[in-house]
Amino acid sequence: MSGLGATFNPISFAEGRFRRAYMGTWTKPLSKIGQWCVVKKSKETFTWKEKDWDTTKAVQEEAQTFADEFNNHFRTNYPIRFTEVNVLQVTSVPNLKDAPKLNEYVVTEDYIDGEFKKWCNNYGYVSEEAKTTAPSMPAFMHWSWYHTNGQMMIADLQGAKLTNSYLLTDPVILSDDDQFGCTDTGVEGMLMFFRTHKCNKFCSSLPAPTISDFIGIIPPFTLSMCSVAMPSVTNCTAYQQELKLTRPVKNAVLRTFRNVAARIQH
């Protein structure tokens, strides 16, 4: 199976809730010929227009911009990087179930050569390793929230720890207006993160909302429904259609976020 710029195995080697992944090799550019790559397609739909991947590309590029600023600010020994997304069209394909179709558009990126791990998702899950030996992962989420005055957060942090950096893929951006596609769980995803987050050496100086900030804002029954939903998306990506907060409650939570993010830390 091939596309314009890569050849790949039509049998997937991994999948999440949203995409399937196929192992491949680059056929161009010249600097990458023969190197491993990963081809990904949507599980639920066929992608016949290149622009349908625009949100995916924009999220990855925006996440890298945030990561650059985070790395420069904290000067960590292991800076955070994200893979670059390329959109390719499939030019040849066998007739196999679950394989990309002829002329379908897929995304392709460099293969991450390391032990793949999911440190955080987009609905409050933070792995034990992220809490102990990879503290920059939840700190990056917290910092991105603070950096945007409580209006955005980089989430769904997954990838590998390499010799001198973290290399991540498939991030999610949570936004105050749910503009970044079906995995943008918005202020509800941010709220669920802060329900479990414990600040570490990177983010201890940053403002953070606590449950007391939401007394009288979130109905107890609604918060209970969110808590029940958390285990169902542990270690995987949540979707917008699974959210529980009503728009008026989300707006109230966002106002609280902005007030908290504006606090001066002493």
Mean pLDDT within 175-181? 92
Bridge partners of 107, per DSSP, are 40, 87
Band (pLDDT 50/70/90 cuts) for residue 116 is: very high
pLDDT at 79: 97
Between 144 and 213, name the one with better pLDDT: 144
pLDDT for residue 266 is more than 50: no
Over pLDDT 70: what percentage of the chain? 97
Dihedral sign (CA 108, 114, 117, 121): negative
CA angle 240, 244, 250 (to 5 degrees): 85
pLDDT at 219 over 90: no
**Which domains does the chain show, CATH number per domain?**
2-110 (3.30.200.20), 117-261 (3.20.200.10)
pLDDT tens per residue, range 23-58: 999 998 889 999 999 999 998 888 999 999 999 999
Which is more confidently placed, 264 or 66? 66
